[in-house]
Amino acid sequence: MSQPTILQTIVAHKRKEVAARQELVPVKLLESSLYFQSKPLSLRQYLLRENGSGLIAEFKRKSPSKGWINQYAPVERTTLGYMQAGAAGLSILTDGEFFGGKNEDLTTARRFNFCPILRKDFVVDEYQILEAKSIGADAVLLIAAVLTPEEIHTLGSLARSLGLEVLLEVHDGEELARSADADAVDLIGVNNRNLHDFSLSLDTSMELAAAIPSEFLKVSESGISTAAAIGQLREVGYQGFLLGEAFMRDARPERACAALVQEIAALPKAAVTF
Ligand SMILES: O=P(O)(O)OC[C@@H](O)[C@@H](O)c1c[nH]c2ccccc12
């Protein structure tokens, strides 16, 4: 039998974790959270702001591919610094086992910032959507590689019914074709990292851009570190750029974010209109 891929390992662990958590924190309790009643902010709108950076700045302590990236940066200072630097929104990893995050990280970021926050986790169950809402998220990630089109429809529709936006992550044309469900998805993120073997290539985003239907806002994810790369991605239609490691490997991630925002501001305006 072949070895499970890292993605399969993470998802198997996540299913157990969610089952256990559901016992501990019943849906009724999630629904009684103060955030459950609040109106989410639109990641789409913030990414589309005129003269904005289009950056979604991620808080990620570690990853299966890189190990520890930053064990010490505090979530308050970092996220507040990201937003003051000019990021359009935040992405907070809440997976503990593989990424060193927790739900409280997102809630802390929520308390310190007025901006859209993406809950970055491996969603396999409707419970996690309710949980995302209860901890103060504005948007959730769904990963096409681990979900059927039916699951994407159900999970995405539930998220939307709660006012959350849905970022669907794809890695190739086949995933895109089967999962781009306009009734359940708002933004499409092309992950430049292959979650099966961790290889990285911006060509993934460059090649898939034209195949993404225009009703979805296009986001390029992973392996981005320079304004030049963002310039190229903008030219083929991307309006959102999700960066984690390029910021987090700095002792002060917010400083790295501020430097990149300055460079983005100096880019020539995208030559094409889309
Ligand atoms: O650190 P990077 O290479 O800038 O990548 C950020 C983000 O795209 C990456 O963390 C990510 C993309 N999709 C995910 C799914 C789960 C966990 C993490 C991710």
Return the number of other C-beta atoms located less than 10 Å from residue 67's C-beta.
8
In this prediction, the answer to ipTM > 0.95 reads yes
**Can you tell me the distance from the alpha carbon of 191 to that of 224, in angstroms, rounded to the nearest whole number?**
10
pLDDT at 270 over 70: no
181, two tokens: 């469900």
**Can you tell me the distance from the alpha carbon of 80 to that of 248, in angstroms, rounded to the nearest whole number?**
14
* Closest-lying ligand 1 atom to the alpha carbon of residue 221: 8
Those residues whose C-beta lies under 8 Å from the C-beta of residue 63, and which sit 6 or more positions away, are 69, 98, 99, 244, 245
Task: Provide the residue type at 28 as one letter.
Answer: K
pLDDT at 10 over 70: yes
**Can you tell me the distance from the alpha carbon of 180 to that of 222, in angstroms, rounded to the nearest whole number?**
20
**Can you tell me the distance from the alpha carbon of 171 to that of 156, in angstroms, rounded to the nearest whole number?**
18
* Residue 225 annotated as catalytic: no
In this prediction the pTM is 0.96
**Per-residue confidence band for 273, with pLDDT thresholds at 50, 70 and 90:** very low
Share of the chain above pLDDT 90, in %: 93
- Check 14, 17, 53, 60 and give the catalytic one: 60
pLDDT, tens digit (0-9, with 9 covering 90-100), for 152-205? 999 999 999 999 999 999 999 999 999 999 999 999 999 999 877 789 999 999
Alpha helices in 51-148 (DSSP H): 75-85, 103-112, 126-134
Please provide the CATH number assigned to the domain covering 6-265: 3.20.20.70
Domain spans in the chain, listed from the N-terminal domain onward: 6-265
Q: Residues lining ligand 1, judged by CB closer than 6 Å? A: 58, 60, 120, 169, 191, 221-224, 242-246
Amino acid 194: pLDDT: 87
3-class state of residue 232 by DSSP: helix
Rounded to the nearest 10 degrees, the angle between the axes of helix 253-265 and helix 75-85 is: 10
* Residue 120 annotated as catalytic: yes
76-97 mean pLDDT: 98
* Residue 102 annotated as catalytic: no
